[in-house]
């Protein structure tokens, strides 16, 4: 097959023929061959006009496959008939159901050298090269036979010392050392591939269920981190670490209030009973202020008794250098949230304390401690309400009753219509 090409800027034509490439990696008589177009250099195939054309040295060099210089041949161990009869023929058949013959082993090593230990390709070519077509071999069987024979040959040659070993730093020496250090385990590979195939054949519904389980686990971890942050915030407010809870992390009664904050109704004074956490947990903050107002006339007599039941936190502020007005500490906000600060001021007014009392040394300290205690009380009240909601949800889930949810009209921003 040939064609003529007209050269640019000339009336002459060059003749090209399709010729095979010389590839050292493939034998000459192999069916698979690479072809290329090459300019005819033979005088018998060139006319007078073509004879005047200069011969391109690059095109002549292209007759050799250009990527042949990158060819790498794997060097494998070769055994003799004597070594096979002495060491390999008596090997136990551990990984295969049918015994291996010498012809099959010879074909295996020939394929390993030709395809550079690409066992998937070797298993594909095994049907055409196998001397006994009735016997089929899997990829793991080919691996097990090859690595077992190489390991046996390396051990025998090292023990006898008669056969010369390869160079210490050669690829074959490293290959033999790897076989001696890490023998091939066919049973493990069979189990691994079976498990991998089982995972690949899982139905879509099972995968979706597993994704939902992972999302639920992430939500649980997120809620646990949120509870830990709330616990650290409460510890900062109370000025002391909270006792560890013995319940499970997902139980509603995880946070246990310290004994200094929760006292019994018999031992606590009237002001402590009025400010007990359990009495104000289920009701609003405004309803919890009524008993506090009635207890104000007796507050002066119960200050010493209340100090054991209510946390008295003396805030140590970083005072600036220079002249300082003590009353300026009363103007400093107790929290960064304006809404919570407004609620603290409202509770102070309901208690009749006022947000700007007389700024004496004792009043300034007590006023600042009172604001910190109100802030801790609000935080604990919110925590108790949330825990009670979790407890009701757990009880309803255990009894099978539907949980209380807001109407869909509130969630969608529309007004819910009355029934009937």
Average pLDDT over residues 366-391: 85
Q: What percent of the chain has pLDDT over 90?
A: 15
Record the tokens describing residue 154, joined without a space.
Answer: 């390396």
Distances, alpha carbon 98 to alpha carbons 82, 90, 94, 257, 260, in Å: 23, 14, 10, 73, 80
Residue-wise pLDDT tens digits, 208-221: 999 999 999 999 99
Poorest-confidence range of 87-101, 205-219, 352-366, 399-413? 399-413
Domains (ranges, CATH) in the chain? 2-70 (no CATH), 81-199 (1.10.10.60), 263-315+328-396 (no CATH)
DSSP code of residue 214: H
Record the tokens describing residue 2, joined without a space.
Answer: 């040939």
Where does the pLDDT of residue 23 fall: very low under 50, low under 70, confident under 90, or very high at 90 and above?
low
Where does the pLDDT of residue 297 fall: very low under 50, low under 70, confident under 90, or very high at 90 and above?
very low
Residue-wise pLDDT tens digits, 254-273: 444 444 444 433 444 443 44
Average pLDDT over residues 84-93: 84
Outline where DSSP puts E strands in 30-178. 35-39
Distances, alpha carbon 172 to alpha carbons 121, 273, 286, 337, 365, in Å: 21, 87, 86, 73, 84
């Amino acid at each position: 097959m040939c064609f003529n090409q007209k050269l640019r800027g000339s009336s002459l034509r060059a003749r090209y023929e399709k010729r095979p490439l010389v590839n050292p990696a493939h034998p000459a008589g192999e069916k698979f061959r690479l072809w290329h177009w090459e300019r005819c250099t033979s005088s018998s195939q060139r006319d007078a006009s073509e004879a005047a054309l200069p011969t391109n040295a690059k095109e002549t060099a292209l007759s050799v496959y250009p990527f042949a210089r990158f060819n790498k041949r794997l060097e494998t161990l070769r055994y003799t008939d004597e070594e096979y009869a002495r060491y390999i023929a008596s090997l136990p058949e551990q990984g295969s159901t049918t015994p291996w013959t010498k012809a099959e082993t010879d074909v295996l090593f020939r394929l390993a050298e030709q395809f550079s230990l690409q066992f998937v390709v070797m298993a594909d070519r095994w049907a055409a090269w196998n001397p006994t077509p009735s016997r089929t071999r899997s990829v793991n069987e080919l691996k097990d036979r090859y690595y077992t024979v190489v390991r046996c040959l390396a051990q025998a040659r090292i023990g006898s010392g008669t056969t010369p070993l390869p160079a210490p730093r050669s690829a074959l020496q490293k290959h033999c050392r790897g076989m001696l250090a890490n023998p091939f385990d066919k049973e493990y590979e069979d189990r691994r591939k079976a498990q991998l195939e089982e995972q690949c054949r899982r139905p879509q519904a099972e995968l979706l269920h597993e994704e939902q389980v992972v999302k639920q686990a992430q939500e649980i971890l997120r809620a646990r981190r949120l509870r830990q942050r709330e616990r650290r915030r409460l510890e900062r407010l109370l000025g002391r670490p909270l006792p560890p809870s013995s319940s499970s992390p997902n139980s509603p009664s995880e946070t246990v209030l310290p004994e200094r904050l929760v006292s019994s109704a018999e031992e606590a004074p009237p002001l402590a009973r009025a400010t007990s956490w359990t009495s104000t947990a289920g009701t609003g903050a405004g309803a919890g202020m009524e008993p506090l107002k009635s207890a104000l006339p007796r507050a002066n007599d119960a200050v010493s008794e209340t100090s054991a039941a209510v946390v008295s936190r003396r805030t140590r502020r970083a005072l600036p250098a220079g002249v300082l007005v003590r009353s300026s500490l009363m103007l400093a906000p107790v929290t960064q949230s304006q809404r919570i600060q407004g609620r603290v001021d409202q509770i102070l007014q309901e208690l009749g304390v006022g947000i700007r009392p007389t700024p004496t040394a004792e009043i300034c300290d007590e006023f600042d401690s009172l604001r910190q205690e109100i802030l801790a009380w609000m935080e604990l009240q919110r925590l108790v309400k949330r825990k009670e909601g979790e407890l009701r949800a757990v009880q309803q889930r255990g009894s099978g009753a539907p949980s209380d949810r807001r109407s869909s009209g509130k969630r969608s921003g529309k007004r819910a219509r009355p029934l009937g």
